[in-house]
Structure 1
Amino acid sequence: MNQALPSVPPIPDVSRWLTTVDELDAWLSGHRDQPLALDTEFERVSTFFPIPGLVQLGAGGSLKLVDPSVAEQCTRFRETLADSERPKLLYAMGEDLELFRHWLDLEPRGLLDLQLGSALAGAGFSVGYARLVESLFGEALDKSATRSDWLARPLTPAQEEYALDDVRFLEPLYRWVTERLAERGLESALAEESDRFAADLLAQSEPADAYLKLKGGWQLPPEKQQVLRALVVWREQECRRRDRPRNRVLADPALIGIADRLPDNAGALAAVDGVPPVVVRRFGDQLLAVVREARQSGEVPGVLIDRPLTRPQQDLYRRIKKSMVRAAEQADVPVELLAPRKRLEALLREGNPAKGDLGFFDAGWRAQVLASERAGIVALLEQQENHD
């Protein structure tokens, strides 16, 4: 990290805000050929959906703040977010992506998550923005405004500077990351991994698949997992309708308990652990109807909740993980990024060693990094298949 670093733009003393749609439109037009540094501030304490509080933008050394009421009315802003050819630079973009999907009802494209990029460039796995900025650029960020009220107006000078700092280093960091990735022959890895991350987040947001996150439900037989699936869909819809966090409606263990006990009256529902009386009074009839209809459907989910790995699978997991650790160390990338646990477990459950197909690990930058270990991994899978 001692190579020459790109310069960092200063925080503007004046003209920090784009206060009208015309100003935002003109600014975006004037920087259309440059990557767009992007961040948001929002509130989410007692709501299901995040409430936008501020949008921060940067391009060509120009740093700006935009009120959400201005951004949402700007057609060019929406078009820019949806433009796959225009790079948008973010850091740890998960919550920002969720905000854009709900607030603007669009699927952003061309997103580049520089937390992922910096990990691929050798800066470490899941490093916080402030820590990386200090490590690379020698500037300590003031984080005192992190949990301040972003819906208040006017914002304090400290809030404005905090918000501008969140985009001020993104362009220089992007140049640093791309240079390092080019040196490693991983030029396409940043876009590949950002796209994968965004796609995974989108898949996790589908109400019909939300039951798969309730890992404690794996012990339920398929017909009860169908009930659990219906209950989770009901909760997702209720939380969205009421704009309340999931646990404010009904916690995961209670849903699993209802699916297991299959109550058919209010008394039986009240006897399920974790179901408070207020839930029985407010939602009892709905929950009993959901259970009844799911049972009467006679259906089972097409995908069941993942079971824990068997002991032989756990042993194979450790052996394959060693190979992937070697490959990760050789390429100086985090093994957590190269071999996400969920993906490696899926390979062991669904692997097709007869065809030598490593699926997820045979695509893009992972195939390149794992090339030296691939034959050994396939051999381990084939040995396990033959043993089974």
Structure 2
Amino acid sequence: MNFQLITDDTALNTLCIELKQHKWLAVDTEFMRQDTFFAQLALIQIATPTLAVYIIDPLSIKNLIPLWQLFSNTNITKVFHAARQDLEILYQQAECMPLPIFDTQIASVFLGLGDQASYARLIEKLCGENINKDQARTQWLDRPLLDEQLEYAAADVWHLAQAYPILLKSLTPTQRQAIQADFNNLTDPSLYRTEPAQAWLRMKPSSSLSNKQLGLLKHLAAWREEQAVTLNQPRKWIVNDEALIQLAKRPVREVQDLHKLNQFDGETIRQHGESLIRVLDKAMQDAENWPVAQKPITLSHEQQIVLQVLHAISQQVAHEQGIHLPNLTNKHELTALLLQQPSQLNHGWRELLLGKLLKQFINGQSHLRLVHKNKHEQPKLSLSTSAVDI
């Protein structure tokens, strides 16, 4: 496998002009994100449909605008595997979103590989080759890079460019349409913008938090987000989630009172104690902007029974498709579907694999039965499209 290393502005500009002729490009990135808030882009790899491979060194090139323009060219599909982190770093670097995209990890759900199929597993199934992962933990920001590091980086997109046409051919038009909804979600810029006022939504606080506690948490999370961006440090290096949630539940008035909270150590209090108290004071004065705590949804006895059936169907589908059930659906999404509220089960591959089945059952268009294939296997749930009352 041959590849070309691009390390200067002239070579990059020439390459981007050449790559415009292709309908799709396989793309991968190498980056480091161990001790920073923002990922540090180290390499960008591109492979063409003819399996020409290029490795672009962004640390050596002053003007990357031609590359960002290439990625923004809507006539060229950019093919990734597990695209979210690649899209995040490219968007934050260029402030423009690569469009359109194709994510082979999402599409591989229709190959029976589950929803989190590794790149190695995908390539083994589609191309019959084993991927060498020896350099997966390499220090990509070091220069000069060794030959084996560059060969590893090149191999990733070389294999991806081989796998994509095979995978695309295996999909039905309905499956392609379904995953397009997931691709559209992935390329929503709001996923990758740093918005301190929305930082609390990324956290997983208890559903029992009051309006006041949610209001305090919103201010605390916004403060931490601003600190993390300013210092370019991981959020947990500032204050971890558990500590902020505990402080929102048990707000204190003085710095010394932070020592009473078991989630705060002396170093955190020394560095950020006074700032945290100021944030709490400000949040207390902002009551009119506190989020409203969601009230638990109360289902009727009949709805609770139906919800249990929906969960059983979901378990069956998850097992058959090799998908971890929490990644397919959960009680909240099932409840929303039952009550005809917005749900992930109304979009993308989740709708195609599960949502349509559940909606048929809810609307009385199908019924459940147990199927016994033979006496040596456990019976399984099956949905029939002939409706009957239950």
Q: Which amino acid aligns with 2:332?
A: E
Equivalent-residue separation in structure 1 for 2:73 and 2:324 (angstroms): 30
Out of 214, 220, 224, which is 1:235 matched to? 224
Query: What is aligned with 2:345?
Result: 361
Task: Show the 5 A alignment for 1:204-215.
Answer: 206-215=195-204
Task: Show the 5 A alignment for 1:1-388.
Answer: 11-12=1-2, 16-32=4-20, 33-59=22-48, 60-69=50-59, 73-182=63-172, 185-199=174-188, 202=191, 206-302=195-291, 304=293, 316-324=306-314, 340-341=328-329, 345-346=332-333, 348=335, 350=336, 353=339, 360-363=344-347, 370-378=355-363
Equivalent-residue separation in structure 1 for 2:227 and 2:193 (angstroms): 17
Equivalent-residue separation in structure 1 for 2:263 and 2:53 (angstroms): 49
Q: Which moved more, 1:158-167 or 1:195-204?
A: 195-204
Relative distance call for 1:259 and 1:338 in structure 2 (3 A) is closer
Q: Which amino acid aligns with 2:222?
A: V
Q: Which amino acid aligns with 1:345?
A: H
Equivalent-residue separation in structure 2 for 1:161 and 1:327 (angstroms): 40
Equivalent-residue separation in structure 1 for 2:38 and 2:121 (angstroms): 28
1:275-304 Cα shifts (integer Å, max 9, x gaps): 122222222221111101111111354464
Q: Which amino acid aligns with 1:97?
A: L
Equivalent-residue separation in structure 2 for 1:303 and 1:83 (angstroms): 42
- Residue 314 (structure 1) shift: 7.4
Relative distance call for 1:84 and 1:339 in structure 2 (3 A) is farther
**Unaligned residue ranges in structure 2 (runs of 5+):** 366-390
Secondary structure in 1 aligned to 2:285? helix
Secondary structure in 2 aligned to 1:143? coil
- Residue 364 (structure 1) shift: 5.6
Equivalent-residue separation in structure 2 for 1:203 and 1:311 (angstroms): 39
Name the TM-score, length of structure 2 as normaliser.
0.81
Secondary structure in 2 aligned to 1:42? strand
Aligned residues: 361
1:298-338 Cα shifts (integer Å, max 9, x gaps): 13544647979989787654421334566778xx8566699
Equivalent-residue separation in structure 2 for 1:308 and 1:157 (angstroms): 58
Equivalent-residue separation in structure 2 for 1:70 and 1:31 (angstroms): 20
Equivalent-residue separation in structure 2 for 1:236 and 1:218 (angstroms): 22
Relative distance call for 1:308 and 1:291 in structure 2 (3 A) is farther
Secondary structure in 1 aligned to 2:362? helix
Equivalent-residue separation in structure 1 for 2:207 and 2:343 (angstroms): 24
**Unaligned residue ranges in structure 1 (runs of 5+):** 1-10, 381-388
Q: Which amino acid aligns with 1:160?
A: L
Name the TM-score, length of structure 1 as normaliser.
0.81
Equivalent-residue separation in structure 2 for 1:140 and 1:275 (angstroms): 46
Relative distance call for 1:308 and 1:51 in structure 2 (3 A) is farther
- Residue 141 (structure 1) shift: 1.8
Equivalent-residue separation in structure 2 for 1:306 and 1:135 (angstroms): 46
Q: Which amino acid aligns with 2:258?
A: L
Equivalent-residue separation in structure 2 for 1:86 and 1:303 (angstroms): 44
- Checking the alignment, whether the CA contact within 8 Å between 1:120 and 1:190 is kept in structure 2 is no
Equivalent-residue separation in structure 2 for 1:31 and 1:325 (angstroms): 45
Q: Which amino acid aligns with 1:322?
A: A
Query: What is aligned with 1:385?
Result: none
- Checking the alignment, whether the CA contact within 8 Å between 2:92 and 2:192 is kept in structure 1 is no
- Checking the alignment, whether the CA contact within 8 Å between 1:35 and 1:86 is kept in structure 2 is yes
1:68-110 Cα shifts (integer Å, max 9, x gaps): 1356623221112223442111111122122112222333321
- Residue 190 (structure 1) shift: 3.4
Q: Which amino acid aligns with 2:270?
A: R
Q: Percent same amino acid at aligned positions?
A: 25
